Amino acid sequence: MILFFSEQGKTIKNGFLRSQDKAGTKNIYGEEQMALDKWADDVLINGLKKTRLVRYIATEEQPGIIEIENPKNNFGVVIDPLDGSSLIDVNLAVGTIIGIYPGNVLAPGNTMIAAMYILYGPLTTLTLTTGNGVHDFVMDEKGVFTLTQRDIKIPDGKLYAPGALRKDYLPMHAKFIDNLEAEGYKLRFSGSFVADMHQILHKGGVFTYPGFRGKEKGKLRLLFEANPMGKIITDAGGAISNGKINILSVKPKAIDDLTPIYAGGKKEIEMAEKFMAQ
Ligand code: P6P
């Protein structure tokens, strides 16, 4: 399965020159779909169907869970095919996020057996956990991924990636952000969850896309963004919270559930929960 997704990474990376047009359609969240979003979604779904490696497939671009006939096993997979795709036309790094469950995908994130992301930046890298440490791979010119870092642990660091508009912050979140600034945390936010989280994983700090005025559930998706990234950051010694509890303990209600996200070093997540509890 890992090999399948690594091979798709090469296909998707090579596909960026195809088109950066809008597809003229919207996803289930009402967001403009780029032609590349739909193309990457098709590549991954059709590829998985052919291999029959999984029974359940849910992607950010599809309205429901796809069930494969006569699968080789009962795995379920959640995919954000091209997270941050609107950044491609300004040449910023974007990513593919994948989470793998032993069965259907409407289960808490802490039941995942593996999670990975492919980051399409100056290098194309794959960051993977199967529960025995978080490891980094870099794709070479032939499309082969080679191990570059084993058992990554999130270091102490003072970066913070704050999503949403400051004018819409809820009071306790505003106090949390002010406290980070007072403690000398430097703002680094690209608009790409995968790129921002990869930076936090390697340099320390915290990513947050909070609940905010008018969207108290936040913007990011529980199944397709928070859970896979939460497994990775947790297996690297960090933590992920919705401001109150560990997101990985949340039982999803539907595949399009949204969640506030605080993800990064344990220290920063404890700080966030302290402020959000006031
Ligand atoms: P905003 C990309 O659309 C995404 O889902 C994440 O990758 C990213 O962290 C966030 O939305 C950016 O949101 O509101 O800053 O454009």
Nearest atom in ligand 1 to the alpha carbon of residue 194 is 7
Nearest atom in ligand 1 to the alpha carbon of residue 95 is 7
| pLDDT at residue 245, rounded to an integer | 98
The CATH code that applies to domain 159-276 is 3.40.190.80
| pLDDT at residue 6, rounded to an integer | 86
Which phi and psi angles does 139 have, rounded to 5°? -80, 130
| pLDDT at residue 21, rounded to an integer | 73
| pLDDT at residue 33, rounded to an integer | 78
Q: Which of the listed residues 220, 227, 258 should we mutate to test ligand 1's pocket, taking the one with most ligand atoms within 8 A of CB?
A: 220
Assigned CATH topology for domain 2-149: Fructose-1,6-Bisphosphatase; Chain A, domain 1 (3.30.540)
Which residues of the chain register pLDDT less than 50? none
**Residue having the nearest C-alpha atom to atom 10 of ligand 1:** 191
As a whole number of Å, the CA-based R_g of the chain is 18
Is the pTM here over 0.75, yes or no? yes
| pLDDT at residue 20, rounded to an integer | 67
- Show me where the domains of the chain are located: 2-149, 159-276
* Alpha-carbon torsion, ordered 171, 172, 176, 178, to 10 deg: 30
